Amino acid sequence: MSDTTAHLKANSQDIEFPILKGTYGNPVIDITTLGKQGFYTIDPGFLATASCESKITFIDGGKGILLYRGYPIEQLAEDACFLEICYLLLHGELPNTQQYEKFTNTICQHMPIPKEIHCVLNAFKKDAHPMAMLMSLISALAGYYHGKMDINNPDDRLEAAYHLIAKIPTLAAMCYKHSCGEEIVLPQPELGYAENFMHMLQSTPHRNNNIKPVLAKAFDRIFTLHADHEQNASTSTVRLAGSTGTDPFASIVAGVAALWGPAHGGANEAALNMMREIGDESHINEYVDKAKDKNDPFRLMGFGHRVYKNYDPRAKVMRATCHEVLDEQGCHDDPLFKIALKLEKIALEDQYFIDKKLYPNVDFYSGITLNALGIPPNMFTVLFALARTVGWIAHWHEMLGSKDFRIGRPRQLYTGSAKRDFVKMADRK
């Protein structure tokens, strides 16, 4: 909806653009027609460029607000389970009882992985990174289902989404078991989503592990907190790959690849390593001083965010979840958690962090929580991918259903050589 216009004066032309206003957030100048006027814009890193219109998730970084389909993350994390979140992100509304039952039944039916795909893991050494295994397994699904779905049909797109949401915990657990050199445990669909994941991680084909409800709730909440985060690097990658009309599973592989990078999915592992390196509360001030030193590349991991200039609302929920997990595991005196709490307090009272609006982000407490849940660090990003799959596929579905959807094809500012004639090798200096 356009209610006002912006003007650009360039080469004595006065070009007019509509200004679009969303439900929240900065107004957006629609420059779609600028190319026809002979100009492009440049914005490396998308610092001020919206890549699409979306109705799924909203972040107000200044106020520390995160909404899924309008619902605050704190309320969802407290009162909804992850499969309700999946339904909400995909369909736009929370499910009623009948819708929820139908949805969970569909997800349960789609959990098993075709037998042929299991042997893909045999191509990997046990010490290969599980993110590499995960990408290959999802690629194998692309091979298995390719051509069976019409991406222009919304029902087929939802079918692809159900396959992915249902199968991703099974695939993640398969990667883990392969890394441990253990036999794969098949899903037990009658368990809840998080319980089933714990079962596939912790049971063996001959012995069922006892699942503690507090820990299952913690996994479920971790999945909820990571389910979507609007146009981040991996989601934008899924949208760009999907905009070519490629297979949905292939689009998700692109997202997993983008997530693997340490600037995106890998920060919780770095935060956990930092707490370990600090080692004792008496060393905290030394590390805070290092983080403030311009000549030292060290940064407080799990602190600061491109969008949040306030407390990341996910971090507050994660801190409470961390408390619950440590209590349940009988580790309320966990030295890493104590270091984290004290480090947070010291940093939040320090003028450097106050001036730069640096607050704990979700990764500050998630590494300690996952560690207490028995997850090895190289699986942290796999769990992130598991949770984010619903966000990725919801964005893919939204994009393909949008009326002004077209292939993503950025322009560039070319600064290379001017046109010149080819020189044969013998004539080159």
Binding site residues, ligand CMC, CB under 6 A: 229, 267, 291, 299-306, 356, 358, 361-363
Nearer to ligand CMC, 58 or 100 (CB): 58
Q: How far is the CB of 220 from ligand CMC (least distance, A)?
A: 19
Q: How far is the CB of 75 from ligand CMC (least distance, A)?
A: 20
Phi-psi group of 207: left, alpha or beta (phi > 0 → left; psi -120 to 50 → alpha; rest → beta): beta
Q: Which residue sits closest to ligand CMC, CB atoms considered? A: 304
Nearer to ligand CMC, 83 or 259 (CB): 259
| Contact criterion met (CB below 8 Å) for 17 and 28 | no
Q: Is residue 58 packed enough to be buried (19+ CB in 10 Å), middle (13-18) or exposed (0-12)?
A: middle
| Contact criterion met (CB below 8 Å) for 234 and 241 | no
Structure tokens, 284: 């905290």
Query: How many residues can be counted in the chain?
Result: 429
Instruction: Sheet containing 13-20: give its strands across.
Output: 2-10, 13-20, 28-29
Nearer to ligand CMC, 163 or 229 (CB): 229
Q: How far is the CB of 297 from ligand CMC (least distance, A)?
A: 9
Of 24, 19, 88, the closest CA to residue 61 belongs to 24
Give the integer Cα–Cα distance in Å for 269 and 293: 23
Give the integer Cα–Cα distance in Å for 212 and 329: 10
Q: How far is the CB of 370 from ligand CMC (least distance, A)?
A: 14
Nearer to ligand CMC, 149 or 300 (CB): 300
Q: How far is the CB of 319 from ligand CMC (least distance, A)?
A: 15
- According to DSSP, residue 123 is labeled G
Q: How far is the CB of 42 from ligand CMC (least distance, A)?
A: 18
* Residue-wise DSSP of 43-74: -GGGSS------SSEEEETTTTEEEETTEEHH
Radius of gyration of the chain (CA): 24
Most distant pair of Cα atoms in the chain: their distance: 78
The backbone torsions φ and ψ at residue 6, rounded to the nearest 5 degrees and listed phi first, read -115, 150
Q: Is the dihedral of CA 122, 127, 128, 130 positive or negative?
A: positive
Q: How far is the CB of 270 from ligand CMC (least distance, A)?
A: 7
Nearer to ligand CMC, 69 or 305 (CB): 305
| Contact criterion met (CB below 8 Å) for 80 and 94 | yes
* Residue-wise DSSP of 373-427: TT--GGGHHHHHHHHHHHHHHHHHHHHHH-TT-----------SPPP-----GGG
Looking up tokens 């370990």 gives: 276
- Any catalytic annotation for residue 220? no
| Contact criterion met (CB below 8 Å) for 395 and 235 | yes
The backbone torsions φ and ψ at residue 19, rounded to the nearest 5 degrees and listed phi first, read -105, 125
Among 110, 305, 395, 397, the one annotated catalytic: 305
Of 227, 252, 226, 225, the closest CA to residue 238 belongs to 252
Nearer to ligand CMC, 84 or 269 (CB): 269
Nearer to ligand CMC, 200 or 315 (CB): 315
Structure tokens, 85: 């979140």
- Any catalytic annotation for residue 334? no
Among 220, 247, 312, 363, the one annotated catalytic: 363
Q: How far is the CB of 291 from ligand CMC (least distance, A)?
A: 4
Q: What share of the chain is helix, strand, coil (3-state, %, to 5)?
A: 55, 10, 40
Nearer to ligand CMC, 361 or 389 (CB): 361
Nearer to ligand CMC, 157 or 319 (CB): 319
Q: How far is the CB of 290 from ligand CMC (least distance, A)?
A: 9
Structure tokens, 425: 């090798």
Please give the positions annotated as active site: 305, 363
